Structure 1
Amino acid sequence: MALNILGFPRIGKNRELKKALESYWAKESLESELLACASALKKEHWELQKSLDYVCVNDFSLYDNMLDLAFALGAIPKAYEGLQGLDCYFAMARGNKNLKALEMTKWFNTNYHYVVPELDINYKYILNTNFIKESYKEAIAFGFRPKISLIGFFTFFALSKITNGEIKAVFKKVKETYLNLIKNLVQELKGELVIEFSEPVFVKGWTPLEKLGISQDSVIEFYNAVNALGIKIIVSTFFEHSKELTETLVQTNIYGIGLDFVYGEKNLQSLEILAKSDKVLFAGIIDGRNVWVANLESKLALLQNIAKKIPHERIVLSSSCSLLHLPFSTESETKMDKETLSWLCFAKEKITELELLDSVFRNGISPNNKTKWEQNITINKTRKNATKIHNANVQERLKEQTITTRALPFNDRIKIQRETLNYPTLATTTIGSFPQTPELRALRRNYKSGAISKEIYESGIQDYIRDCVRFQEEIGLDVLVHGEPERNDMVEYFGERLRGFVFSQNAWVQSYGSRCVKPPIIYGDIARLEDITLQWTLYAQSLTKKRIKGMLTGPVTILNWSFVRDDLERSVICKQLALALRDEIDALQNNGILIIQVDEAAFKEGYPLRIENVLEYERWALESFKLATAIAKPQTQIHTHMCYSEFNDIIKTIEDMDADVISIETARSGNKLLKVFKSQGYQNEIGPGVYDIHSPRIPSVEEIKKQILSLLEVLPKEQLWINPDCGLKTRKWEEVKPSLKNMIEATKAVRKTL
């Protein structure tokens, strides 16, 4: 066999890492206990990979691989230099009482967040490779053959933020440090060293890299220098095609090149180039990002096509990317209907698919693999013909609905809204969710399991909403929310009330650190089955004379944060979602809820990585958002929220969304994002986050006041809303209450100066 994966999920079958991390952060367990949990998980995951050529080492992380590499390279900002070991590591990731965390953003077009390293020409760059070496030695001791998984230098550099120094000088210094890291590993680890360098940044093409001084010559020079150290090198790209990198790497002395044939079909055009070299092709053939059982017949046909150019002995079957983006195993799903479950394949099962496909590719169908092969064919046929997937009414309605423009333009609407809604200058609100306490989770869990009655459950939800509304009134927030106590997740909750979705018990996927999400699975045509948010929004409104903001998750975000069916265009699925949400918006406004937030937190992360594909995505994503919100009357104010995004390249699209108010995350990145809106001449209202909710630290009144004043240097007071930078569900009440009180006090102080 010749088999490879680029990484494995690290949170554990039962989210063991999440629990160990949160226990350690709460000072309820020791560092030794956390590391023991990590060691046990690594061993368990290596055992599942024993049929592969090598097990992945260093794909495991206590928080994030980009942070790991920054830490290993000694790219430690001066503010953290007084801290040691995990105290320093987690302070960079999460902040502490005295320090802000480093910025986070999305890993390409996935829902995984990475910590953005900061690079400074004056950093000491003292290497710390202990974690890599210890994991490597552990794998050896357990009897496995290890392959070190590393984020490639060029991807690391391109995704980092230079805080001081000229690009060329910083590039040179970080490159030297990175090469020293490899030399250190070579010197201290015995035997043949195999390293797979992940270089997904190259799927974006040369243009963004050339701005950083990265050229074809620099790539060839770098990887030849690494190769000269006597390492077996694989360089892999994924999430799209990268003919540019293939053309470059064939000119180096490296061993293998990894290409994604699931999301980068145009990689087939690189086979002619590869064929003329001696490089081994690591063919990303099994989907590392989606949960459907592969159609192995079509995968085999693709491999046979590849083999017309590249000899069998130079082809290694691989996952398309790291399996980090998948749940652990379908074995934990005992409640899902058997037919739907048979269509699904998670990380553990993906390895089994690789084994079966490789067996048939190398040796044909034999008595050993015939039964499994026929089962795969049957599963795919059953899914294709299943009647529950298709709904004629949904398909017909989509053809009929074409209105995607609000009844009045923004400048006319906003006058009506300000008069109708009567909110003050620098209006204060939150992004929607409030802390999900253990008691709240237990309440939902007990109701779902049947341990408590509907009456007891609803009484508990009412109590939470009542307390939530009372607290917001006490501190003086202007626009309130109900706190979302009934929602397990901002996407899953909606999917549970829509046709075409199925839900798992344990299909958890890491979003960042200990934060895990359980994405819904879209298997069929989508329709709204019932009121989704109306009951609890109206209950909250009955408790106060202030405006309650309705909270919906937008169609593009539901799509991008779900595992999506692969038998229909994503644009069509998104529009089906939009129609369902359109009905919910109409129900809310017809019942007096005139401020409605349609979150599009994942709008940016769905962007294609190749620039030539961007316009088509923007077209249908924008059309879907507007299809949902065009039903809003002029007096109904539509808010939206976007997470961790660089807006420079999509500001025109944001403008075209025509939301009345957009809230964005700026707390970690300062006013840089806000200046984009000013330079574009953006007219609609904006709520820049004035403090970072992803850190447990409580911002002071003076700190928030300073932040608000800095916002006013960029945009006029009439255009600004004041809010945290994201929802508060992951925080504790003892953090949320003083932070919001300080936010209100700071806002009042600034208002007095205006």
Structure 2
Amino acid sequence: MTTTPFPTATILGYPRIGPDRELKKALEAFWRGAIPAADAEQAAQDLRRANRARLASLGLGRDDSAIPEASSYYDHVLDTAVAVGAVPARFADVVGPDGAVDLAGYSTIARGRGEDAPLEMTKWFDSNYHYLVPEIGPDTVFRAADRRRAAEVREAVADGFVTRPVLVGPVTFLLLAKPTDDAPEDFRPLDRLADLLPVYAELLAELRAAGAEWVQLDEPALVTDTHTVGREAVLAAVTSAYDALVAAPGRPALLVAAPYGDLRDALAPLVATGIEAVGIDLVRGAQPEDPSVLAGTTVVAGVVDGHNIWRGDLSAALSAASELGAHAAAVSVSPSTSLLHVPHDVSREEHLDPELRSWLAFADQKVSQVVTLARGLTEGQDAVRAELDEAAESLARRASTTGVRIPSIRERVAALTADDAERGDVDDRRTAQQEALGLGLLPTTTIGSFPQTGDIRRSRAAHARGDLSDADYEDAMRAEIARVVALQEDLGLDVVVHGEPERNDMVQYFAENLDGFAVTQHGWVQSYGSRATRPSILWGDVSRPAPITVSWSSYAASLTPKPVKGMLTGPVTILAWSFVRDDQPLGDTALQVALALRDEIADLEAAGIGIVQVDEPALRELLPLRSEDQPAYLDWSVRSFRVATSGVDRATQIHTHLCYSEFAEVIDAIDGLGADVTSIEAARSRMEVVDDVAASGFSRGVGPGVYDIHSPRVPSVAEITGLIETALDGVSTDLLWINPDCGLKTRGYDETVAALRNMVEAANTVRERVRVRA
């Protein structure tokens, strides 16, 4: 085949929701029934066209496949599942005769309906993005079913662009899938690779016919060694898959990208298949040990950090890309990952301190960096000397700026001892807490947040603009807290929360109240589906200038005789869901945050709050993708949590919460946190975590979620009762808590009240059954 040369500058993906969350707004309007599907699809098309034009204006080529075609209505893994016909049987009715799935059907698979649960959701490698888990069984029928990506390529061609469509690669797609419920116990989705490959070949041919000269297949699963199938099976699958796809008739040229880490032993077999280009992450990964294997292959060198927002060292990036030039057929410059992990444009952040802003590069700035480095690669360093020098000067200014390093904070961290991370005997704590709290069998609670209504958001926005006084804002928040406390008492919940109406985000709220952080106005990043967050920027040494949550929790406690939980976000999650400084080890930064939280917990305890929940939903998220790197991470992450929570009396009950944590992978670390109660996502996976809990011998309180809050459906009393009974198969009655999977911030009040009412009724039903059995 004739191969069009790969462009010297490219990106692997671009933010998908729009600079002002245009796609989010259109989708949610469609889901509410406020607009027809055609209007949502038009909004998506407008965004695709705007993105192509923007990328071309930043220097990427219009006609050389430099611009990726990687948009998505909800999730790129779901897109691939739909494209190959892997739709679960419970949603078979949304599939048309030709295999196509319209926007309504696609949304149904993603979000569920009635008694039909959506696809399970979990973390995308070590990022804060969530993907939908495909369900593959021995009888799953694969076919080239959805032609949406080919239609987008034709749309681009009509607008004068030759773009590069992106799909999840076949090996990663199957490694990320889970077996269907009826699959044999020894079945692995990877067993279906031979059946899947002809479908990929057909899709590739269709994309070529639509006008695509190159197609990007993302294979990030190749950079991790934690797959249950074993590394040998993964490497054999790589050879099998790409031997077949390279030989497929009528295909475009193939770029296989492997972001988030180091290909290591997968590099040689991958390039040996004859793929035209390979994408290597040189930010998280390293130069190949044997670069001679790259002979004859174009290397797309990921030398710009696609996972963080710092401007970086452009001279070092250029050197890394240049080093590959002596071995590869050609070298192209790119970010290390898709830019979906960073916001659109730092120039919009006019409220940020100009010096801080000069240290940052969002998606558009990273595109410009890639273009600069590509010019340096082809024309020589002198051609971009001014840009390289400016980046170096920015790094130097950053290192010397006041607040980046504060001696008193560093001295406090250095003074920590082993005793600062210890709380004493577990049984002694349990006895003291039972006497203090008086909780009965199967206590019910929520994870923390309640729905954020339009009134709450308007009040917060008005206060931020200065249109609502501090006193009036506090009155509005107190009124909402009073309403939430009264609602929980009416529902019959045993442990009450204040509902967090004052919090815009579980990390940003703390960032706004801790020194060493900055927050953005437009820095939205997709988390899952239509949901987006604004990660804060942790740029300097961290400390707590004043109490943050105490007044709100104390007010809630004054309204009810029931125990009230104080709600904090843990140090690991604050790091994971922020853009964190890259000039010191993460463990050092985590201990600074931990000490700030330790001070907050001490003040909550002094105010009479007897339960404090320190959420760590991101504990699994930051787990290194290579098993050899995991012990060091788990050591500092567990220590930071224990430092934050070990300054309290034995009668104060410490909770933590984890979601999408793949419990078995980090069970020892979760146990090591030492929390008195751990709540964890379990509803979408139908209590799969219970087996892990039982096998581990976990000896403290556990609350496996019984209500999936990431879907609008309301689980029935019978469904929740069944989940509680399943939980009791692996957790003793004196340790089991009943709670939703996660916070309720994103849900509406009608569905929330109905679901919680069913949850309490189910708990009461099971309590009675337990008493009868006893």
**Structures share fold, TM-score greater than 0.5:** yes
2:618 is aligned to 602
Map of 2:635 onto structure 1 = 619
Per the alignment, in what secondary structure is the counterpart of residue 240 of structure 1?
coil
Q: Name the structure 2 match of 1:648.
A: 664
1:81 and 1:88 in contact (8 A); partners too? no
Change in 2 beyond 3 A, CA 1:192/1:517: closer
Residues 662-677 of structure 1 mapped to structure 2, 5 A cutoff: 662-677=678-693
1:175 deviates by: 4.0
Between the aligned residues of both structures, percent identity stands at: 39
After TM superposition, list the pairs within 5 Å mapping 1:287-436 onto structure 2. 287-307=305-325, 309-310=326-327, 314-365=330-381, 369-402=384-417, 403-436=419-452
- SS of equivalent to 2:664: coil
Report SS of the residue matched to 1:597. strand
Does 245-254 or 467-476 show the bigger shift? 245-254
Displacement after TM superposition at 1:656 (Å): 1.2
Give 2:117's aligned amino acid.
K
Other structure's SS at 1:501 match:
strand
Instruction: Judge conservation of contact 1:197–1:234 (CA < 8 Å) in 2.
Output: yes
Give the Cα separation in 1 of the matches to 2:89 and 2:541.
53
Displacement of 1:105 after TM fit?
Answer: 0.2
Q: After TM superposition, give the deviation of residue 80 of structure 1 in Å.
A: 0.6
CA 59–693 in structure 1, closer or farther in 2 if over 3 Å, else same: same
- In structure 2, the partner of 1:461 is 477
Within 5 Å, give how 1:546-557 maps onto structure 2: 546-557=562-573
Preserved contact between residue 177 and residue 189 of structure 2 (Cα < 8 Å) = no
In structure 2, the partner of 1:113 is 130
Partner residue in 2 for 1:17: 23
CA deviation after TM superposition for structure 1 residue 456, in Å: 1.0
The one-letter code matched in structure 2 to 1:458 is E
**How far has the Cα of 1:179 moved from its partner?**
2.7
1:69 aligns with 2:75: no
2:163 corresponds to: 146
Q: Which residue in the other structure is 1:718 paired with?
A: 734
Give, in whole Å, the separation in 2 of the partners of 1:672 and 1:594: 31
Call closer, same or farther: CA 1:270–1:693 in 2, change over 3 Å: farther
Q: Is the aligned partner of 1:226 residue 2:245? A: yes
Q: Are the equivalent residues in 2 in contact too, given 1:690–1:704 (CA < 8 A)?
A: yes
Structure 1 window deviating more from structure 2 (14-23 vs 186-195): it is: 186-195
**Alignment-derived partner of residue 88 in structure 1:** 105
Aligned to 2:297: 279
DSSP-derived class of the 1:523 partner? strand
Amino acid at match of 2:428: D
| Residue-by-residue CA offset, 1:446-468 (whole Å, 9 max, x unaligned) | 00010111111011001000000
What letter corresponds to residue 231 of structure 1 in structure 2?
P
Query: Quick check: 2:527–2:533 contact (8 Å CA) kept in 1?
Result: yes
Aligned ranges for residues 19-38 of structure 1 at < 5 Å? 19-38=25-44
Give the whole-Å Cα distance in 2 for the aligned partners of 1:305 and 1:508.
35
Shift of 1:407: 3.5
- Quote the offset at 1:238 in angstroms: 1.4
Q: Which residue of 1 aligns with 2:199?
A: 180
In structure 1, distance between residues paired with 2:307 and 2:190 = 32
Letter in 2 for 1:233: L
**Worse-matched range after superposition: 128-137 or 533-542:** 128-137
* Structure 2: gaps of 5 or more residues: 1-6, 96-101
Alignment of 1:701-740 (within 5 A): 701-740=717-756
Looking at structure 2, the residues matched to 305 and 414 of structure 1 have their Cα atoms a distance apart, in angstroms, of 59
Distance 1:425 1:519, change over 3 A: same
| Contact 2:213–2:253 (Cα < 8 Å) also in 1 | yes
Q: Does 1:161 align with 2:178?
A: yes
Equivalent AA in structure 1 for residue 285 of structure 2: G
For residues 119-134 of structure 1, the aligned pairs below 5 Å read: 119-134=136-151
Whether the 8 Å contact between 2:153 and 2:210 is mirrored in structure 1 is: no
**What is the CA deviation profile of residues 28-86 of structure 1, one whole-angstrom value per residue up to 9, with x for unaligned ones?**
01111111111111111112333244244541100000111111111111111112422
CA distance 1:282–1:55, shift in 2 (3 Å): closer
Note if 1:681 corresponds to 2:697. yes
1:169 CA displacement: 8.2
* Matches of 1:105 and 1:652, distance apart in 2: 20
The correspondence for 1:477, drawn from 493, 506, 509, is 493
Question: Which digits, 9 at most, give the CA deviation of each residue in 1:206-240, with x for residues without a partner?
Answer: x6264498343432232121112243111111111
Structure 2 counterpart of 1:186, which letter? Answer: A
CA shift for structure 1 position 317: 0.7
Distance in 2, Cα, partners of 1:270 & 1:534 = 57
Quote how far apart the aligned CAs of 1:192 are: 5.5
Scaled by the length of structure 1, the TM-score of the pair is 0.96
Quick one: structure 1 residues 220 and 125, their matched pair in 2 at CA, closer, same or farther if it must change by over 3 Å? Answer: closer
How much has 1:172 moved relative to structure 2? 5.2
Within 2, Cα distance between the matches of 1:358 and 1:321?
A: 17
**Displacement of 1:121:** 2.0
Q: Distance in 2 between matches of 1:506 and 1:645?
A: 29
- What letter is aligned with 2:263? S
404-413 or 329-338, which deviates more: 404-413
Q: Kindly state the Cα deviation for residue 187 of structure 1 after the two structures are TM-superposed.
A: 4.3
Deviation of 1:298 after TM superposition, in Å, equals 1.9
Whole-angstrom distance in 1 between the partners of 2:206 and 2:570: 52
* Greater mean deviation of Cα atoms: 554-563 or 294-303: 294-303
Aligned-partner residue type, residue 59 of structure 1 = A
Where do 5+ consecutive residues of structure 1 fail to align?
Answer: none
Judging changes above 3 Å, is the alpha-carbon distance between structure 1 residues 56 and 97 closer, same or farther for their aligned structure 2 residues? farther
Looking at structure 1, the residues matched to 65 and 237 of structure 2 have their Cα atoms a distance apart, in angstroms, of 29
SS in 1 for 2:643: helix
1:712-735 CA distance string (max 9 Å, x none): 122211110000110000000011
TM-score (norm 2): 0.94
- Tell me which of 251, 260, 268 is aligned to 2:272: 251
1:604-628 C-alpha deviation (Å, 9 max, x unpaired):
1000001110010011111111111
Structure-2 separation of matches of 1:69 and 1:556: 32
CA displacement at 1:270 relative to structure 2: 4.2
RMSD of equivalent CA atoms: 1.7
Structure 1 residue 191, shift from structure 2 partner:
4.7
Letter in 2 for 1:37: A
Paired with 2:234 and 2:306, the residues of 1 have a C-alpha distance of: 29
Alignment of 1:514-529 (within 5 A): 514-529=530-545
Q: 1:382 to 1:170 in 2, by over 3 A?
A: closer
- Which of 105, 112, 116 is 1:99 aligned to? 116
Distance 1:358 1:5 in 2: 12
CA separation in 2, counterparts of 1:170 and 1:718?
38
User: Contact 2:450–2:499 (CA<8 Å) still a contact in 1?
Assistant: yes
What are the superposed Cα offsets for residues 236-278 of structure 1, whole Å, 9 maximum, x if unpaired?
111111111112113211111111000112x34242432xx31
Equivalent-residue separation in structure 1 for 2:227 and 2:632 (angstroms):
20
- Are residues 249 and 721 of structure 1, via their aligned partners in 2, closer, same or farther at CA, if it must alter by over 3 Å? same
* 1:638 partnered with 2:644: no
Q: Which amino acid aligns with 1:386?
A: T
SS in 1 for 2:116: coil
Find the aligned partners of 2:201 and 2:702 in 1 and give their Cα distance. 46
Q: Does 1:535 align with 2:551?
A: yes
Q: Verify the 8 A CA contact 2:11 2:68 in the aligned structure 1.
A: no
Residues 604, 172 of structure 1: CA spacing in aligned structure 2 closer, same or farther, 3 A cutoff? closer
The residue type paired with residue 33 of structure 1 is D
Q: Structure 1 residues 386 and 752 mapped into 2: Cα distance closer, same or farther (>3 Å)?
A: same
Partner of 2:217: 197
